[in-house]
Structure 1
Amino acid sequence: MIRFVSRLRNERRGLTLLELIIAMTIMAVLASAVLPMAEVTVKRSKEIELRRSLRIIRNAIDEYKADFEKASGKEPGKQQFYTPAINETGYPKELEDLLEGRDWGGMYPYKRKYLRRIPRDPFDRNDQGWGLRSYVDDPESTVWGGEDVYDVYSQSDAVALDGTPYNSW
């Protein structure tokens, strides 16, 4: 009896063609279910990166404006360190001003910088960069007036998972 069982094992060493076809079919079904989920996960992580980048830049712009208000003495009871120009809004002239920093007339003992680098737009495929709006532009404007940088937005025409366009964030 033991010889008979061991002889059957020796004769049957591989998989049959039918077993291989069934295994490949199961793997194909599983792969077709996983790939769309992976695409959604990649898109969601890019959306999180876009929100983070927008928040970083917008916070830096707000800090720049707050320092302008402090330095120009617009806050009650504060010393004036900086005399602004008549048409100056207090927002940076370009995004690079957030990298280079500003002295503010000695309000700080150093040149205050607001960003180490400008975060990138994860949906920017054509190297367009960030869309800019100035203080005098309409809130939904897609054309930068060039006076200052009041807001940034993504120039991507793509639509988010929640159905909103990225350029409206």
Structure 2
Amino acid sequence: MITSRRAGFSLIELLAAAAILGILATVAVPVVQTTMRREKEHDLRVALRDIRQAIDAYKAAATAKRIVVASGASGYPPSLDELVRGVEDANNSSAPRQYFLRRIPRDPFSANKSLPAADTWGVRSFDSPPQNPRAGSDVFDVYSKAQGAGLNGVPYGEW
């Protein structure tokens, strides 16, 4: 008796494999989304730290009278762009400009990619309260304009 053997899978085997793949996909998608969000939050933390350190370095240079500050000014930079453009050294005219940032990082949660990096951030002036930050004649702090809260439950604007 000769039996013929057919190669391939039966319909039940294919359905079982499709069901297993579907279950794996439903588990993997949330993990990938959380991982991508976690990476964006890490990038946000790094960008905020870098900008805030540059603002603090600018203020320290103003306090030490290494840069010229207008009379009555707070000593904080007038804009984020000033940190990149640099300022003249008040003590040494032959020295190169003092730079505080190489570039302004973008807010990783900003959806509008056509905006300049400086415009993706909210800025708080020295004379505005922390509960109601507003722009002014200087940049005392920056915050994310992103809606929503991080994985830690804190709204992005409060980081």
Local SS of the residue matching 1:18: helix
Question: How far 1:163 sits from its partner (Å)?
Answer: 1.1
1:26 alignment counterpart: 20
1:94 alignment counterpart: 79
Cα distance in 2 for partners of 1:82, 1:104 equals 5
Cα distance in 2 for partners of 1:22, 1:54 equals 49
User: Where does structure 1 differ by over 4 angstroms across 4 or more consecutive aligned residues?
Assistant: none
Q: 1:12 to 1:101 in 2, by over 3 A?
A: same
Cα distance in 1 for partners of 2:11, 2:19 equals 12
Local SS of the residue matching 1:105: coil
Of 115, 123, 133 in structure 1, the residue corresponding to residue 124 of structure 2 is 133
Cα distance in 1 for partners of 2:68, 2:17 equals 76
Letter in 2 for 1:162: N
RMSD: 1.9
Cα distance in 2 for partners of 1:140, 1:49 equals 24
- 1:70 is aligned to 2:56: no
Q: Deviations over 1:64-114 (max 9, x none)?
A: 11111112xxxxxxxxx5564331111100111001101131347110111
Question: How far 1:117 sits from its partner (Å)?
Answer: 1.0
Cα distance in 2 for partners of 1:101, 1:90 equals 14
Query: Percent identity of the aligned residues?
Result: 39
Letter in 2 for 1:114: F
Q: Which runs of 5+ in 2 are unaligned?
A: none
8 Å Cα contact 2:55-2:77 kept in structure 1: yes
Q: Deviations over 1:116-167 (max 9, x none)?
A: 11100011124451000111110122321x1200000001112111111100
1:111 alignment counterpart: 97
Cα distance in 2 for partners of 1:23, 1:84 equals 70
1:160 alignment counterpart: 150
Larger radius of gyration: 1
8 Å Cα contact 2:67-2:87 kept in structure 1: no
Letter in 2 for 1:59: Q
